[in-house]
Amino acid sequence: MLLPRIITALVLLALLLPALFASTPLPFALLTLVMIAAGGWEWSRLNGRPGAPALAFGAALAAACGVCLYAVNAVGFALPAWCWWIVGGLWVLGGAQALKTGVAGWPTLPVGLRLLLGAVLLWAAWLALISARARGINFLLSAMCLVWMADIAAYIFGKLFGRRKLAPAISPGKSWEGALGGLFGVVVMAAVWVHGIDTHLPVDGPSLYQILVKRLGWLSLLAVVFLTAMSVVGDLFESLVKRAAGAKDSSQLLPGHGGVLDRVDALLPVLPLAMALSSL
Q: Tell me, what's the pLDDT at 1?
A: 57
Q: For 205-222, what is the mean pLDDT?
A: 95
C-alpha 76/C-alpha 43 separation (Å) is: 30
pLDDT by residue (tens digit) across 102-125? 999 999 999 999 999 999 999 999
How far is Cα 258 from Cα 278, in angstroms, rounded to an integer? 32
* Neighbour-count burial for 198-221, b at 16+ CB within 10 Å, e otherwise: beeeebeebbbbbbbbeeeeeebe
DSSP 8-state assignment for residue 194 = I
Q: What is the pLDDT of residue 75?
A: 61
Between residues 176 and 2, the one the model is more confident about = 176
Percent of the chain with pLDDT over 70: 98
Number of domains in the chain: 1
The secondary structure element, H or E, covering residue 169 is: none
pLDDT band at 2 (very low <50, low <70, confident <90, very high): low
Side chain identity at residue 66, one-letter code: G
In the predicted structure, residue 6 carries a pLDDT above the cut 90: no
Is 112 exposed, middle or buried (CB count within 10 Å of its CB: 0-12, 13-18, 19+)?
exposed
Q: What is the pLDDT of residues 145-172, one digit of tens each?
A: 999 999 999 999 999 998 999 999 899 8
Q: What pairs with residue 175 in β-bridges?
A: 165
Nearest to 150 by CA among 174, 167, 171: 174
For 76-140, give the DSSP string. -----HHHHHHHHHIIIIIHHHHHHHHHHHGGGS-HHHHHHHHHHHHHHHHHHHHHHHHH-HHHH
Q: Which amino acid is at 219?
A: L
Domain that holds residue 58: 2-277
DSSP E strands, the chain: 165-167, 171-175
Q: Would you say residue 72 has pLDDT above 80? A: no
> First CA to last CA across the chain, in angstroms?
44
Mean of the per-residue pLDDT values for the chain?
92
Phi-psi sector, 162: left (phi>0), alpha (psi -120 to 50), beta: beta
Condensed to tens digits (0 to 9), the pLDDT of residues 22-71 reads 988 889 999 999 999 999 999 999 999 999 999 999 999 999 999 888 88
* pTM of the predicted model over 0.85: yes
What pLDDT score does 79 carry?
77
β-pair partners for 165: 175
* Predicted local confidence at residue 133, as pLDDT: 92
Residue 262 has pLDDT above 80, yes or no: yes
Q: Any long-range contacts for 126-130 (C-beta under 8 Å, 24+ apart)?
A: 126/32, 126/33, 126/36, 126/65, 127/65, 127/68, 127/79, 128/84, 128/87, 128/271, 128/272, 128/274, 128/275, 129/32, 129/267, 129/271, 130/25, 130/28, 130/29, 130/32, 130/69, 130/72
Average pLDDT of the segment spanning 183-195: 97
At residue 166, the pLDDT reads 92
